[in-house]
Structure 1
Amino acid sequence: MKNILKNIILPLTVILFAVSCHDDLDQSPIDPDSFTEEDVFANAEEAKSALAKVYASLALTGQEGPAGQPDLSNIDEGFSQFTRMLFNLNELTTDNAVVAWGDAGLQDLHGMYWTASNDFTDAMYNRLAQTVSFANSFIENASNLSDAVVTEYIAEARFIRAYSYYNLIDLYGDVPLVTQIATTLPSQSTRQEVFNFIESELLDIQNSLASSGSNEYGRVDEVAAWALLSKLYLNAEVWTETSRYNEAVTYSEAVISSSYSINTTDVNGNGSAYDELFLADNDTNGAQNEFIFTANFDGLNSQTYGGSTFLVHAAIGGSMDASAYGVNGGWAGNRTTSALVNKMGSGDSRAMFYTDGQSLEISDITSFTDGYAITKFSNLTSQGVQGVDASGNFADTDLPLIRLAEIYLNYAEATLRGGGGSSTTAVSLINELRERAYGDTSGNITEADLTLDFVLDERARELYWEGQRRTDLVRYNYFTTNSYLWPFKGNSANGTSVSDFRNLFPIPSNTLLSNPNLTQNTGY
């Protein structure tokens, strides 16, 4: 799919998705109509091109590259990109990140005092709504084709729709469940109803998707369905009040037994194979064997001010040399807190921090030099070559949305929560990750070390800045409570608890005004 993005995504960003489909979750997109449905869905080859737009809805933001003709109105286009919003809502609200910038509503996120009119929570809701819209339109139009391969394309679109709904119920709780193009205002479904839909969809499409590892890079296969089921069942107790840890173990085992593997190839010879996961050639350097579902980027052909461009540039400031990360300058925004730094053991190569001129503790969030900088994401290849954009503006680095290491940790947590897995296997899986991190067995653990809190901390060490942290803290009942505090949690320097209604974000105020069928989440 990265090749598809390079070759066709710019012309295909103007393909037709009927105006009515944009009302699916009641957002305010800009209609990208240009081609006719007959042009786009004339045959299987054209339908494959249209499928690229569904994938691209999680990577790009509009019709003209980084800015111009945005898919969503009423917000800066770069701000609204999906993985950038995933960072803002699932990382910036936690112990993993702070930001120096003063854009309206942005500091509210780490301080945990956002309102129902927050631009960033609004943007994520609308972005996911539009992805559902694009998927629904593709599924309806492609269903008119009889080619056998189109069944696989439709299954992929259904996966992306299920993934979008996974994020919607994680972030917002009760949301409209819309699976067909409609002109009427949707009603609100319960979190349980949407959970059931996601589950049934993934179970239904698993046999229609490509077999493990057989699809083009960037396109999902059957393992992606199993991996998303693993994630879904791990969160079931929080989202539905019914635990499903046995199923979480079962589908984690299916993923672990598949053709995907943990990357252990240290191409750049720096002593660790972890950093290869986040370099500009991570689609070819061995990391791709660990990636189950990705958001793909190309510095020339799929430009955005979100994605890896955001993660690389925004983490550079102070005395950092931007060229050492393959870009032309830093935006001096994102850093981390001492809570994450202190979780890293000596010798753990995942501790990718820049400390020169950076203080460990934060006294002023708006000062980039307060807090260690993160060097995890880079626009250099494994050979140290800058990405394809010679200007250094836009990054090539793909972002894993689901990778095998996460599923290892899902297995361990679900096992500890009573899911029927093997603690011996869980320890072995975690040690596989830690041996990559340490370069040897010096960081290995025993079964006596395997506790739920250890797994949570290991998730922080392995997955920080990958859009997971808030979801994990909510599952552990640590996100809003005083059971776990971090710097400036609750807008307090030492951290404080906040009301538990903040385990969910608000339904956007504008959405409520335009659709009387919807009810706001408690507390907003």
Structure 2
Amino acid sequence: MKKIKILSLLGFAFFMQSCEDDLNVVPEDPNQISVEQFYSQDGAYTQAIAGVYGNLSLTGTLGPDNSNIGGVDAGTSQYGRVLWYLQNLSTDEVIWSYENDPGTREIQRNIWNSSNPVIRGMFSRAMFQVALANEFLRQSTADKLNSRGITGAQTLSEIEEYRNEARALRALSYYHLLDLFGKAPFNTEDDVVGVAGPEYNAQQLFDFVEAELTTILPNLKPAGTNIDGRLDQGFARMVLAKLYLNAEVYIGQNRYNDCADQCIAIIGSGYSLATNYLNNFNADNNTSPEAIFYIQADGLVTQNYGPTTVMINGQVGSIESNGNQFGVGGWGGALRLRKQFVQKFDGNEFNNDVRNTIISGVRDIEITDIANRDQGYILAKFSNISSAGVPGISTTFVDTDFPMFRLADVYLMYAECALRGASSATLPQAVTYVNALRERANNGSQIGNISQSNLTLDFIIDERSRELHWEGHRRQDLIRFNRYTGGNYNWAWKGNGSNGVSIPSFLKLYPIPQASLASNPNLTQNPGY
């Protein structure tokens, strides 16, 4: 099996379950074995850390229709899917045809409120990740290990590695909460289970994520040396780079030098661009040499309605019925492209660009009726077929991992930092990195190469969309470039207008879900909601 061993140990993936109020982590079933019984078993801590990782991929223990997050259904609580909805469906890149699906209409028209189930799913899933990591850390202290007779040097060393990885996964969730909500309840392993944490603002979350990752980074495995699917130093540096790249948005501070430093370290860690761009998005994309961290998917082991299952089935056109092209049955035109994204590939230099997987056919580029699945172009970027042409094991649940972090993004972050004045990043090197991406996209041809005079911030924001579309970055990028709210840049159905209208600045942050406010009196609502 191509997936990592931890996903074959998911009997414990969700031994602990969130309560309805998202505050507690308690045993899922009173008939299950006790915590002490579980941890007395051989390999218990390996299975336990698998549960923390598993929260990124799975929604529950009983299959794809089961969720361990109270108040939302399974699809609306899958970590990668709700992250993708909030970062991509709310932007110019994509639109969802079936607006009866709870929460999607409001997200893609930028008219959400604090009762939106997708928003609640993201907030709750991220806080559940924090709770799982905290519980693992509680159960793996030196005192706990000693009381359970765990004294072998190798086992203790492995558990310490797991502890650092749990802390990194917790930092990832707090980073997502910072980016999407600007605040969150704060809890660590030192807090009593079930006690409502205090509200941490953006500065406090920023400081925690930075300090936590900086502290544990030297103790993580070097980039590329951990078991496939587990995080390493490249992961920690990537979260730090993203934190610093967006620091002006988060805390009003210019941290582009720090971002560039992290990019340089990542680039020097042994990653390389995949020869074929599309091999980053197929059924064996975990083998890509530019993969820094992908959320795992497996058509047999991790069946769920996560981002790649949604994207690949959603790509299948209502007119084209081209599911065989991607190794899936398809959902009859669930996803289409907004015109403004399609226009990013206007120009002769993109005629043979392999990143341009847009299918136009007999379709109209305009989407005047969202329910009309025949309107709007479609995409062919993601696939449930391997690089060797072997289809995934299932035609519904895909084997394709979700590319959360990959090297191409680092190249573009470096270039942006150079343009924004980072002293450790140079414009000539930035051009080299951008041209490496463009030559890869053009099968080695230099037809799309740029000169230093072409390298501008306007170029970078469009190039990021061309290279990274549907990968969970677009909302964040548009906010950083001041093109998300207001009327500087409009796209189809922005603000509920068919041609796009200006939206207020408070929409740069999502609201704290009403249910979370009700369960934690320490939380306050974001302005505007």
TM-score range, shorter chain: over 0.9
Distance 1:39 1:403 in 2: 40
Partner AA of 1:498 in structure 2: I
- Provide the rounded CA distance (Å) in 2 between the counterparts of 1:16 and 1:30: 5
Whether 2:520 is the aligned partner of 1:515: answer: yes
Aligned to 1:173: 182
Once residues 129 and 14 of structure 1 are traced to their aligned partners in structure 2, the CA distance between those partners, rounded to angstroms, is 14
1:57 corresponding residue in structure 2? 55
Deviation at 1:306, TM superposition (A): 1.8
User: Which residues in structure 2 correspond to 1:120-139 (within 5 Å)?
Assistant: 120-139=118-137
Alignment of 1:91-240 (within 5 A): 91-102=88-99, 103-143=101-141, 144-145=144-145, 147-180=156-189, 181-182=191-192, 183-240=194-251
User: Is it true that 1:393 corresponds to 2:389 in the alignment?
Assistant: no
Within 5 Å, give how 1:351-366 maps onto structure 2: 351-366=356-371
Q: Residues 28 and 126 of structure 1 are in contact (CA less than 8 Å); yes or no, is this contact kept in structure 2?
A: no
Answer yes or no: is the 8 Å Cα contact 1:30–1:71 preserved in 2: no
Amino acid paired to 2:415? A
Structure 2 equivalent of residue 377 of structure 1: 382
Aligned to 1:268: none
Deviation of the 1:39 alpha carbon = 3.8
Specify which of 423, 426, 429 is matched with residue 422 of structure 1: 426
Is the contact made by 1:252 and 1:407 (CA closer than 8 Å) also made in structure 2?
yes
2:465 to 441, 453, 460: 460
Whether the 8 Å CA contact 1:32–1:63 is kept in 2: the answer is: no
Task: Indicate whether 1:256 and 2:267 are aligned.
Answer: yes
Deviation at 1:5, TM superposition (A): 4.4
Aligned partners of 1:224 and 1:292 also within 8 Å: yes
Q: When the two structures are superposed, what TM-score results if normalisation uses the length of structure 2?
A: 0.92
Superimposed CA distance per residue, residues 374-396 of structure 1 (whole angstroms, 9 cap, x where no aligned partner) = 1111111112221022xx12100
SS at match of 2:43: helix
Partner SS state of residue 9, structure 2: helix
Separation in 2 of the partners of 1:141 and 1:506? Answer: 33
Task: Kindly provide the amino acid, as one letter, of the partner of residue 477 in structure 2.
Answer: D
| Identical pairs, percent | 38
| 2:7/2:50 contact within 8 Å kept | no
Q: How many residues align?
A: 506
User: Secondary structure, in 3 states, of the residue corresponding to 1:207?
Assistant: helix
Letter in 2 for 1:58: L
Report the CA distance shift for 1:299/1:214 in structure 2 as closer, same or farther (over 3 A): same
Q: Is the 8 A contact 1:354 1:374 kept in 2?
A: yes
- Shift of residue 300, structure 1, vs aligned partner: 0.7
Mapped to 2, the partners of 1:433 and 1:473 lie a distance apart of: 21
Task: Give the 3-state SS of the residue equivalent to 2:298 in structure 1.
Answer: coil
Aligned in 2, Cα 1:452/1:422: closer, same or farther, shift over 3 Å?
same
Q: Root-mean-square deviation (CA), in Å?
A: 1.9
Cα separation, partners in 2 of 1:256 and 1:282, compared to 1, 3 Å? same
User: In terms of mean alpha carbon deviation, does 489-498 or 179-188 score higher?
Assistant: 179-188
Partners of 1:59 and 1:296 within 8 A in 2? yes
CA distance in 2, matches of 1:37, 1:414: 47
Q: Tell me if structure 2 keeps the 8 A contact 1:59–1:307.
A: no
Q: Aligned with 1:206: secondary structure?
A: helix
* Distance 1:428-1:213 versus aligned 2 partners, 3 A rule: same
Q: How far apart are residue 28 of structure 1 and its match?
A: 9.7
User: How much does 1:237 deviate?
Assistant: 0.8
Q: 1:361 to 1:32 in 2, by over 3 A?
A: farther
Q: Quick check: 1:139–1:154 contact (8 Å CA) kept in 2? A: yes
Distance (Å, rounded) in 2 between the aligned partners of 1:73 and 1:16:
13
Which is worse superposed, 320-329 or 196-205?
Answer: 320-329
Q: For 2:127 and 2:79, locate their aligned partners in 1 and report how far apart those are by CA, in whole Å.
A: 11
Partners of 2:356 and 2:24 lie apart in 1 by 39
One-letter identity of the residue aligned with 2:168: F
Q: Answer yes or no: is 1:294 the counterpart of 2:294.
A: yes
Task: Indicate conservation of the 8 Å contact 1:5/1:301, yes or no.
Answer: no
Alignment of 1:317-328 (within 5 A): 317-318=317-318, 319-328=320-329
Any gaps of 5 or more consecutive residues in structure 1?
265-272
Greater alpha carbon shift after TM alignment, 311-320 vs 83-92:
311-320
Q: Is the 8 A contact 2:97 2:371 kept in 1?
A: yes
Tell me, yes or no, if the aligned pair for 2:81 and 2:307 is still in contact at 8 Å: yes
8 Å contact kept, 2:485–2:503:
yes
State the Cα distance separating 1:413 from its structure 2 match: 0.9
| Inter-partner Cα distance in structure 2 for 1:27 and 1:515 | 11
The residue aligned with 1:411 is 414
Aligned to 1:349: 354
CA-CA distance at 1:44 after TM superposition: 7.8
Question: Quick check: 1:16–1:40 contact (8 Å CA) kept in 2?
Answer: no
* 2:482 matches 1:473: no
Q: Which moved more, 1:87-96 or 1:507-516?
A: 507-516
Distance 1:363 1:53, change over 3 A: same
- SS of 1:314's equivalent? helix
Counterpart selection for 1:277 from 272, 277, 280: 280
CA distance in 1, matches of 2:503, 2:473: 20
Q: Deviations over 1:223-247 (max 9, x none)?
A: 1111111111001111001111110
Alignment deviations for residues 139-191 of structure 1 (CA, whole Å, 9 cap, x no partner): 12122336012111111111111110110010001211211242322221111
1:488 counterpart (479, 485, 493): 493
Following superposition, the deviation at residue 82 of structure 1 comes to: 1.1
* Alignment partners' CA distance in 2, 1:367 and 1:32: 44
CA apart distance, 1:110: 1.7
Q: CA deviation at 1:435?
A: 0.7
Code of the residue aligned with 1:316 in structure 2: it is: V
Q: TM-score, normalised by structure 1?
A: 0.93
Q: Which runs of 5+ in 2 are unaligned?
A: 146-150
